[in-house]
Chain A
């Protein structure tokens, strides 16, 4: 089945997400769709999968124009979308998720789960995926959840598979295995659209590539004809430097020291098991690992958001295990949260109000029980200039800023105070390339000023680029430590550690 997109345009309010896009998707071919965050890739695919209707343009299947009034139509036409953020119901089982929308039924609308289970297991076996049928999604690790998404698409006899940033949750080894599955599907005659912002993946897996920038197709062709630098320049619109050029570090004393920290969650499951790690002044330490292996809990333990069941958290020689979040702020621990919209800012507040979100109570902006808004606003304006937060005014609602500017605002707020330790969790997720460069530079500058920086990221490239030392986390434990001061850390070895291949058994 071949699909052609002709002149697709889609607008949301004042934003033109897709502008006159034309694309050829051919059977037996992997088409790589390359673009940075915010370029419009997901919107385009949502149009193809029927979730949105295009404002103008046509979709043609084997030369015949079709119209999708909803996802059901596109599914029926044989288009299967594997979303970046899984569309799985956590409290349903694998089978229930796979059959949702195309359930086998008996009389009186009776849900025939037995028949469903058989059908799902057949597909499971045919492609060698090994997914347990009756386990609830919320009890499955992320890598397996992704396979359920693929099962969903195959269950509906899809001829076209759209894979939206599929490798975000995989270790390097798992990525290789995943590519194997993709090639097998391609060779079986399916058409694959592979959406990513990672250049080396495009070069490795795609037969053809199209580059999307700010809603338009700006180039494309056979990947082997381009270098990574060419593709990056097409993606961003200007030459891009890949490395922040961080120079050597001169580490000093221990600023953060975790001693045998164990953390248990509300359901009494162990999330961190006897973590021992440290971050010194004047160095950047990176935590590598697939998301969901305890990184979030590690950040919570360090910042005071979650209590520690046993062990100690030491900060510059002081035991802060029992200190509150606010106390840790005052001591000089800054935190850039992994989900800025959820925990890092208040979208309905102005930029100025967001800038004082965790300093409103101290002398810098407060006078007695009152807040001196004048001072707060002036400080916010100065911070915006210094940290390149592009907004016409500090009185604008922060929700109106782009993702990159929102993140820079959060970074500005955290780095502007007197800090000694910066904990940056997924600092450049969902951020445009220009802002990524800026934030990376800021973190290095922070290090060079003699502070300690801890970065948690699921993008291994970011960790390798920024860190002087790297810890790897797997299932709540530190499984490896690597020295990266001369950027020599072995990517393959890190990947193995991320998959838990070399961890010691839990005593």
Chain B
């Protein structure tokens, strides 16, 4: 948001009304300290960060209920679906395990998408990157034998990461070299990856022996992400990928806000012209950012295959790559926000499955709710218009600051 004051009135933020010469030498120390004091006015901001997503979720659930009514789902069933959603997401240890398990690939892919957003790129291709990454992980997992888990598992995960990164780098390269918008090229790459998966799953070296349907061989034990809670109950699916996810959050936070490369990404994302003038090489930045984003998505795919599915099948990514876009948007492209948003969506996913089982409502309802949440988060003014009472006593916008 730029506020050019060239056509408006007096210069703003004139902290001191001195004209001509600057501050006294004697007060230099005080002035320095004043400049370095962290800004206040976080209260107004905090309200925005917490209230808007909450309001968005609430309104999305409400509209979801309305849609259910419109498709002649009886009120008591609607109630039962919401209860089932709550139960399935946080109602038991199993539910929490399911929620976290579902959030792992969402957060990983979402981090990649969020990073790309920060660099000014729209990576809609997370789904395709997950497909190729997951497939690669599967292939490496059953092709390489005789390695101990300490070597095999990292190898599998890294291979998924690399392939996902390369796949995204294609789109990055096209954008850098020819200006082809990565939205269209990543979407096309998604569609291509689906066909590719179909084809490869029928190839002898990938296809499970003795089967004629497209399904890969099983992941070897040494390449499986171990379950974390098997000492309580071996059926709890939460796996080691949880630590990958948390590690990735920390890593991406550090990358974006503490590292030189991340700063370069952020400059390119906010103002590509200024980035160019600052000497940042636009093409290289684009390719690297896409590669990292793709690598995270590929890792997500690898984690799904080795931690949950145990094999690759057509459609094994189940739209997670697209949901991850929603997660990144909801999390405002900030690593911590993405973590929270990813867990929320994981909860919706787990709860949705329970809802489908318990109340018989199609799980697609979850997609609707997710999309609605995003719409409301992306248009906070819309939320304020619909629910003005939540924001009634915000400080007025045109109060003078200093």
Contacts and interface: CB of A to CB of B under 8 A. Distances in A.
Nearest to A348: B270
Contacts of A343: 271, 273-274, 276-277
Contacts, number: 183
Contacts of B259: 369-371
A403 interface: yes
A382 B3 CA distance: 25
Interface residues of A, number: 74
Contact of A347 (B2, B38, B39, B401): B2
Contacts of B19: 238, 434
Contacts of A42: 6-7
B5 A402 contact: yes
A14 B270 CA distance: 25
Interface stretch (B230-238, B260-268, B308-316, B344-352): B260-268
Interface stretch (A385-393, A468-476, A492-500): A385-393
A432 B36 CA distance: 26
Contact of A215 (B10, B22, B263, B274): B10
A12 B266 CA distance: 30
A106 B269 CA distance: 48
B20 A434 contact: yes
B194 to A, nearest CB: 37
A442 B266 CA distance: 30
Interface string B241-282: 000000000000000001111011011001101101111110
Given A384-B35, A396-B39, A325 B279 contact: yes
Nearest to B1: A399
A404 B4 CA distance: 11
Interface stretch (B26-34, B53-61, B134-142, B376-384): B26-34
B3 A403 contact: no
Contacts of B279: 324-326, 328-329, 358
A135 interface: no
A405 B258 contact: no
A125 to B, nearest CB: 36
B394 interface: no
A324 B280 CA distance: 10
A395 to B, nearest CB: 5
B148 interface: no
A110 B353 CA distance: 58
A360 interface: yes
Contacts of A381: 32, 35-36
A371 B397 CA distance: 34
B8 A15 contact: yes
Given A13-B397, A370-B260, A305 B9 contact: no
Contact of A38 (B6, B271, B276, B399): B6
A388 B28 CA distance: 12
Interface stretch (A111-119, A203-211, A334-342): A334-342
Contacts of B31: 385
A392 B274 contact: no
A341 B271 CA distance: 9
Contacts of B263: 353, 360, 371
B11 A325 contact: no
B22 A349 contact: no
Contacts of A326: 279-280
Interface size class of B (residues with CB under 8 A): 35 or more
Interface string B14-56: 1110011011000010011011111100000000000000000
Contacts of B10: 15-16, 38, 214-215
A400 interface: yes
A42 B5 CA distance: 11
A393 B34 contact: yes
B41 to A, nearest CB: 10
Contact of A346 (B35, B260, B274, B399): B274
A38 B11 contact: yes
Nearest to A381: B35
A14 B402 contact: no
Contacts of A325: 276-279
A215 B11 CA distance: 11
B334 to A, nearest CB: 14
A377 B278 CA distance: 19
A232 interface: no
Contact of B9 (A16, A335, A392): A16
B22 A393 contact: no
B398 interface: yes
Nearest to B3: A399
A385 B35 contact: yes
A370 B276 CA distance: 21
Interface in A148-187: none
Contacts of A380: 35
Nearest to B281: A324
Given A324-B279, A369-B261, A390-B14, A385 B28 contact: yes
Q: Interface centre among A13, A43, A393, by most B CB within 10 Å? A: A393
Contacts of B277: 303, 305, 325, 335, 337, 343-344, 358
Contacts of B28: 385
A324 B277 CA distance: 11
B12 interface: yes
Nearest to A215: B9
Contacts of A394: 35-36
A440 to B, nearest CB: 13
Contacts of B398: 11, 13-14
A391 B35 contact: yes
B400 interface: yes
Interface string A396-425: 100111111100000000000000000000
A456 interface: no
B178 interface: no
B15 to A, nearest CB: 5
Nearest to A395: B39
B34 A392 contact: yes
A35 to B, nearest CB: 11
A384 B22 CA distance: 10
A37 interface: yes
A394 to B, nearest CB: 5
Interface in A1-31: 11-19
A62 interface: no
Contacts of B276: 305, 325, 343
Given A346-B271, A371-B259, A391 B15 contact: yes
Nearest to B267: A346
A341 B7 contact: no
A345 to B, nearest CB: 6
A382 B35 CA distance: 9
A223 interface: no
B13 interface: yes
A366 interface: yes
Contacts of A377: 36
B339 to A, nearest CB: 22
Given A326-B279, A403-B6, A388 B39 contact: no
A251 interface: no
29 contacts: A14-B398, A14-B399, A15-B9, A18-B9, A40-B8, A43-B8, A214-B9, A325-B276, A342-B273, A346-B270, A346-B274, A347-B271, A348-B1, A357-B267, A366-B260, A369-B259, A369-B260, A369-B261, A371-B259, A371-B260, A378-B36, A381-B35, A385-B28, A385-B31, A390-B11, A390-B15, A392-B401, A392-B402, A437-B20
Interface of A: 11-19, 37-40, 42-43, 46, 214-215, 238, 303, 305, 324-326, 328-329, 335, 337, 341-349, 353, 357-358, 360-361, 366, 369-371, 373, 377-378, 380-382, 384-386, 388, 390-396, 399-405, 430, 432, 434, 437
Given A343-B271, A402-B11, A405-B13, 8 more contacts: A15-B5, A16-B10, A17-B8, A18-B9, A238-B19, A381-B36, A396-B39, A402-B5
Closest 6 A/B residue pairs (Cβ): A326-B279, A402-B11, A325-B279, A358-B278, A381-B35, A215-B9
